[in-house]
Structure 1
Amino acid sequence: MTSADPLDEGFSARAFARRVALKGNERLDDDHGDHRLNPGLDALIAAKPLRDAAVLVPIVDRGDEASVILTLRTTSLRKHSGQVAFPGGAIDPEDDYEPEKAALREAHEEIGLEGRHVELLGRLPRYLTTTGYSIIPVLGLVHPPFEIAANPDEVADVFEVPLSFLMNPANHRRESRMWQDQERFYYTMPFGDRFIWGVTAGIIRTLYERLYS
């Protein structure tokens, strides 16, 4: 009789935490980003200084079926306006330049999520963008009950997507569009009337490749 696969335990929050513990700290210095699907962007990303940022990847403990908190950014923001995003932003001196502190602070400022409800698990490799950011995704379990209060200056809506949906590669579409006279590839993950794409979809794809593929 063979023992059960310790990673074959469905999509609960605790099963996710076990995957992070077993596989999540590998190759953290292996940068991901827009250049992974578009090797020609390496030079563009390297040509300008990148601002350090952090996002919280909030995995909500919903019993056997964990979910992921995402936000819809307001259309008035200067960058990535109107897009689906993780709570997050620039790493400031007040964060002691620590991604975890920045991710928790931004989550509280943007959606009212208090840090006492978040169990930090680890990180993903930094994600480099053509918009000038070096983003550290911070992984955390969110334990109910908790309250959400969207900051109307930054967040138009807050919603949850089942982890099983996001970690199913059948829901990852590789699409492209013309940008600066070149075809640029990116992932999209449509969910109902929500269109997840760009950096957020790239981080989700990184999470899948590291923990579930």
Structure 2
Amino acid sequence: MANRASAEYELFTADDLRLRFESRSDQPAPDREFGDHLLNPDIVQLMEREGAREAAVLVPIVDRRDGASVILTQRTQSLRKHSGQIAFPGGSVDKTDPSPEDAALREAHEEISLAPEEVKILGRLPRYLTTTGFRITPVVGIVRPGFELEANPAEVADIFETPLSFLMTEANHVRASKVWGGVERHFYEMPYGERYIWGVTAGILRTLYERYYA
């Protein structure tokens, strides 16, 4: 899919993002949860919050000299949920995980071989509710260059990076909709070249934008 959004965007660095997090360290995350329901208030099945499964994803920001980038994955077609979609490394929070941060780091190591010691955690974004029954805690971390990644073929078909500056430019956030099961569902999409970033992943990126870049 060709990129439909603007190619003009400001350069952002990992240090810039770190300063943005530090400048808001005294401000707790919003009480309201972000999620699919904000664009689709009529979707009733979005949850009983008590029934949602706790999950965590790592939002890995690579500290590149020519501007920060975000590590994303393309999920395999064989997965039961969100197959073939672009996603952050992550998954369910297990009972053995001390925190969402530990879960996100564990999943990133399992899925793309990103070692936990390569990641410096900045903090969390507000939790994100999905129509597929998950309450996701996005954990933002800085990754220094020099790491080596390897996709777990059972879960990940591809690993790639997208410029943070592109993703944090509002002109590149497209509101779209599609009919599923006779119901029109609205979502964000951020097409980047042949990469179609949309749905939950785009929603979490939009949350990062609204909280730190808007």
How high is the TM-score relative to the length of structure 1? 0.91
Aligned 8 A contact 2:47 2:131 in 1: no
Q: Does 1:50 align with 2:52?
A: yes
Cα deviation for residue 64 of structure 1 reads 4.2
Flag structure 1 segments of 5+ consecutive residues without an equivalent.
1-8
Q: Does 1:95 align with 2:94?
A: no
Aligned 8 A contact 1:186 1:202 in 2: yes
Map Cα deviations across residues 161-211 of structure 1 (whole Å, 9 max, x no partner).
Answer: 000000011111100011232221100011111100010000001110111
Cα deviation for residue 95 of structure 1 reads 0.8
Aligned 8 A contact 1:13 1:63 in 2: no
Map Cα deviations across residues 39-94 of structure 1 (whole Å, 9 max, x no partner).
Answer: 112x3122471100000000000024000000000000000000000000000012
Map Cα deviations across residues 78-118 of structure 1 (whole Å, 9 max, x no partner).
Answer: 0000000000000001212x100000000000000001110
Who is 1:40 aligned against? 42
Who is 1:142 aligned against? 143
Which deviates more from structure 2 when the two are superposed, residues 159-168 or residues 174-183? 174-183
Q: Does 1:113 align with 2:95?
A: no
* Distance (Å, rounded) in 2 between the aligned partners of 1:134 and 1:142: 25
Who is 2:62 aligned against? 60
RMSD: 1.4
* Distance (Å, rounded) in 2 between the aligned partners of 1:85 and 1:137: 12
How high is the TM-score relative to the length of structure 2? 0.91
* Distance (Å, rounded) in 2 between the aligned partners of 1:10 and 1:162: 9
* Distance (Å, rounded) in 1 between the aligned partners of 2:133 and 2:47: 9
Count of aligned residue pairs for this structure pair: 203
* Distance (Å, rounded) in 2 between the aligned partners of 1:78 and 1:185: 22
Q: Does 1:71 align with 2:73?
A: yes
Aligned 8 A contact 2:47 2:133 in 1: no
Cα deviation for residue 143 of structure 1 reads 1.0
Give the alignment of 1:114-133 within 5 angstroms.
114-133=115-134
Structure with higher RCO (Cα < 8 A, 6+ apart)? 2
Cα deviation for residue 145 of structure 1 reads 1.1
Map Cα deviations across residues 26-48 of structure 1 (whole Å, 9 max, x no partner).
Answer: 3343200000111112x312247
SS in 2 for 1:195: coil
In structure 2, give the amino acid aligned to 1:35: H
* Distance (Å, rounded) in 2 between the aligned partners of 1:112 and 1:28: 32
* Distance (Å, rounded) in 2 between the aligned partners of 1:34 and 1:114: 31
In structure 1, give the amino acid aligned to 2:92: A
SS in 1 for 2:148: coil
In structure 2, give the amino acid aligned to 1:113: L
Identity of aligned residues (%): 61
